[in-house]
Amino acid sequence: MNSSLMLRRFCCFNTSSSSSLNSCSKKKPLVFLGSPQVSTTVLDALFNASTAPDSLFQVAAIVTQPPSRRDRGKKVMPSPVAEYALDRGFSSDLIFTPEKAGEDMFLSNLKALQPELCITAAYGNILPRKFLNIPPLGTVNIHPSLLPLYRGAAPVQRALQDGVKETGVSLAFTVRALDAGPVIACERLEVDDQIKAPDLLEFLFSKGSELLIHELPSILDGSAKVKAKPQDDSKATLAPKITPEESWLYFDKEALVLHNKDGQEPELKL
């Protein structure tokens, strides 16, 4: 069986009565896209918020990377997001694992769910226009930088490499151009010069989750599109992925350069 289809048979919300189905049907369907461990923080926040009595949405489906070899290549395993969803009781037909987000069957399945909104957090796949045209309220991304700074795959690593004193997390609408959509909200924070990339990344996604839940009402009623501010492309900087060659430390460099570089780790696909 194709690995991209494996998880589609894993899960769906466990509904025990027609009343729970009726209450869910009144909520706006939301699709979450994410893959690595840090993305589970966002999914957890969405799950928890969706169960509140006054919640306006339900998590209708999850999209994540296909199963891959982990634990030093010994086992083919679902992504951390898929594993987390399973642990929370999310059911099989609603976890999608396409190799690419432009696959016709995947897009057909997504359209059938009629999602009002998509949320992405380190999903790791390019979203084509055909995907972006599906949710009427758009697709919103949590990006761990103060956009338009550090657009790309390694914003946290590049920020630490540059020795920045301040960074943050942005909530922005997704457009075809890389991390270039209008910004709904952002949160700034000072950077501890001893922090490592994995810890900073985790902290930023935690803050991004809180920011998302706070802004969801305005996103769901459409007012976020009105208040979102276009990015100033003239101030944009790029954060390309860290290459293997960049992982080396050369001790003829200044101590500060080595210190900043030592805070990096291989980037996530954001």
The predicted pLDDT at position 29 comes to: 98
pTM of the model: 0.85
pLDDT at 251: 46
Q: Say what the pLDDT of residue 30 is.
A: 98
* Burial per residue of 52-63, b for 16 or more beta-carbon CB atoms within 10 angstroms, e otherwise: eeebbbbbbbbb
| Collapsed DSSP state (helix, strand, coil) of residue 137 | coil
Q: What is the pLDDT along the chain (270 residues), one digit of tens a residue?
A: 444 434 443 333 333 333 344 445 589 999 999 999 999 999 999 999 999 999 999 999 999 999 998 766 678 999 999 999 999 999 888 999 999 999 999 999 999 999 999 999 999 999 999 999 999 999 999 999 999 999 999 999 999 999 999 999 999 999 999 999 999 999 999 999 899 999 999 999 999 999 999 999 999 999 999 999 999 999 999 999 988 765 544 444 453 443 344 545 544 556
